[in-house]
Structure 1
Amino acid sequence: MITQKIKGVLKMITTEDFNESTFAWPKGFYSDATHIGLKNQKLDFGWIYSKVPAKTAGVYTTNKFCAAPTAKTKEIVSKNHELQAIIANSAIANSCTGLQGENDVLTEQALVAKRLDISPELVGVASTGLIGAFLPMDKIEKGISELTLATNTDITKAILTTDTKAKIISVDFDIQGIPCKISGFAKGSGMIHPKMATMLAFVTTDIAIADNTLQPLLSELTDITFNQITVDGDTSTNDMVLTLANGLAGNAPIKENSPDYQLFKAALHFVLQKLAQKIAADGEGATKLVESNVLNAQSSSDAQKIAKAIVGSNLVKAAIFGADPNWGRIISTIGATSADFNPKTIDIKINEFPVVQQSLAVDFDEAQISNSLKKDIITLTVNLNDGDFAGQAWGCDLTYDYVKINATYSS
C-alpha cells in the first residue's frame, strides 16, 4: 500500500481505490485501424497518435532474438524518451527477417512520419504474429495512406492474434484538482511468460510527468504485473510495453517527490495489473483465470518467484482444468523453486478452503472444493509463515484447446 496526504489527512491508496470507466482516449490521443489483408477479413493494422510528443517509457522482450520493430522502438525510446505515434500490425512478427526486416521498419517510420508531418524518430513500430515472415510493404504503405486521426478503438482489435477479445481499460481520477485519464490496451494469449512474452501493451495518459520519472516507474510496476503472468512458459521475440504521457491534462509535471506521485503510481499500477489479468484470463484455450497469492515470505523476490511457479506449473494448470483439488502439485511446485522458506510451516488454501496446514494435509470436502474449481476465477493462497513479504501472479488452466490452437498456428 502507498500513502498520500489529502487535505492534511494521510490516506492509504491502493489499486482497489480505482474503478474501470468506459474506455476512451485521454486528451490529445487519436487512433484508427484498418484491414490490409494480413489476416482474413479482420482488422490487422493501425496506429495511435498524440497531438504533441509524449514522454515515453518502455519495457521490452528479453528474448535474444529481438524482432526488428521491437529493437528499433527500444533504441529510439531509450535515446529520446519521446514518441508521438505508434504504428502496429498483427499476423506477421517481422522477426528473424534480417536486414530486410530492419529496412522495412525504417520504411514504416518514414511513411508514418511523412503522413503525420513529424520526425521518424517520434514513430514507434510494433508487430506481432508469425515469426520469420516478411511484411508485405505494398499493403503496409497502402494501409498507412488509409488511416485517419479518429477516436475509435479499432486499434485495440487490430493487434490481436489468437486472442478471443480485446484487452482494454480506462481509469479516471483527479491530479491537482484536474481531471486526468489513463487508458491502456494489450494483446496476448499464447507464448506468455514475461520477462516478457508475445504480448503488446500500450498505455496512454494525458498526465504531465517530469523527465526521467516515467521509465523507472514503468519498470518497477511491470515487474509486479506483466512479469507475473504466465500462460505456457514460452517467451517470444516481439513483446513490448509502452507508456505515453502527453501532458495535455494541464497539471504541473509530476516528479517522484511530488505530492501526487503516489496517486499516479497507484492508478498506473491498477491499469497495468488489470491488463495483465485480462491477458492471463484469455490464455489460449483457457477457461479459468488463476490467481496465486503468496504470503509471509522471507523476501518479495521469493514470494513472486513462488507465486509465478505455481501458476506456471503444467500439473497445477491441468488439475485446475479438471477441477481436481490436488494440493500435492502445488506444494511440490513450491519445493522445486530456489526460494528460501521453512518447508514445515506452509499453509495452502484453494478458493479459501484450507487443504494444508503446517505442511500437513487437513480434512476437507473434496466434492465441495472440486465444485468451487469450476468457477471462472480460481484463487490459490500459500502462507509460508516465514517472513513479512507477499507476491502475486496470474495464469490460466491448461486445456485441450491449447494444444489444438498451437498444433495448427501457422497452417
Structure 2
Amino acid sequence: MEFKNCVTWEEIIQQPSIWKEELEIVKKNLKSIGEFINRVKGEKVKVIFTGAGSSEFVGNTLCSYVNSKVDIDVLSVPTTDIVSMPEQYLEKDVTTILVSCARSGNSPESVATVNLADKLVKNIHHIFITCNPEGQLAKISKEGENKYLLLMPERTNDKGFAMTGSFSSMVVAGVLILLRENFAELEEKVTYVSNVVEKNIDRILENIEIITDLDLERIVYLGDGALKGLAEEVSLKVLELTGGKLASFYNTFLGFRHGPKSIVNEKTAIVCMMSNNSHTRVYELDLLKEFKNEGGKKKIVVLDTIFDEEVKNNCDYYFSFNDEKLGKIEEVFAGLGYLVYGQLLSLMKSAKLGINPDNPCPTGEVNRVVKGVIIHEYK
C-alpha cells in the first residue's frame, strides 16, 4: 500500500505548521488563560492532567519538565484510573485544576471524570484542551465560570485512526499554558523545532525506509524524562497502525535493564531517543555500549538532535538532526522531532505489512473513539 495516499500521512507531516498555528492561538488567549488560572486560590493547589490512551500520554510527557519549573504539584492521572477509583485521586479539600486532554472530547471516561471532579472536589476548576469544538467536553466547558476551553487548531482533529497532530499539539499547549510567563522564550523554541522538523522530513523518510525493510516482530522505544512519555506514545502508534501485528514496548534507558530487556530477540529493533541533558546521556551511552558488547542480531536504532560520533559508533542505525541549537532545547520540545520519526516509522511499517493505516482494525475490536464503556454511578 502507498502510505502517502493515507490521510494519516498528511496529518503527520503537517504537524510543524500546526505547532506554529497553535502558538498564535495561545498568544491570542494568553490574557484570558492567565486570568482564569490566577483566580484559582487555595492553601494547596494541584494540577491534574488527564485523558485516556494518547491523551493520557500528553500529561506523562510534559509533567516532569513542567514540575521542575513551577512551585505547585502537576500530576498526570488517566481518566481510566480516576473513573474506577476516584477517591484515590480527587481530594475533597484540595483546590484542583483538572486539565482534560482529548481529541474528540467524547470518550465516556473523559466526561465521567469531569462529573466526578465536580461532585467530589469542593474547589474544582477545569481546563479543556481539545481538538473538537462539537465534542462533549467543549459543550461542558460552557457550564459555569470554573471552566476554560482551549481549542486546538482545526486540523488537529485527526480523521485517521491514530492520534498524531492532536497529541503533539496538546503537549505544546499544556507547556505553554502552565509556563505562560515565559511565552516569548517558549515561542522561539517551538518555532525553531517546527522549522527543523519540517526541513528534515525527506531525510527522516530515507532513514526509515532502511528500518522498515528489516525483518522485525518487535519494536522497543527508550527515552528519559519527557522522552519517556514520547516513547510511550510512539510505542502505542506501533500497535495501533500495524493492527497489533508488530509488538511494541517502551521504557527508560536505565529501567530497561531491570527485567524488560527480556523482550529482546534477533527480530527486535530498539529505538533509543537520546537526551539533550549531558548527565543523562552518559547513562544512555552506557546502555548503547552494553548492547554493542553483547553482539547478537538485535537492531539498535539511535535518534539524536546533535551529531555524536561516539553514539554513532555504538549503534547499527543512526539518525541525527545534526543541529547544535536543537541540542540545547528541552526534550519536551526538541523531542517532537523524534515523535514525528516514530509516527512515520509506524505508518510506513503498517503500509509494508499491507495494512491500511487509516483503518488498521476494520473488524472493529478497537475504535477511533472508544465504545462499549459503561459508566457506573459513584456512591
- TM-score normalised to the size of structure 2? 0.32
Larger radius of gyration: 1
TM-score, length-normalised on structure 1? 0.30
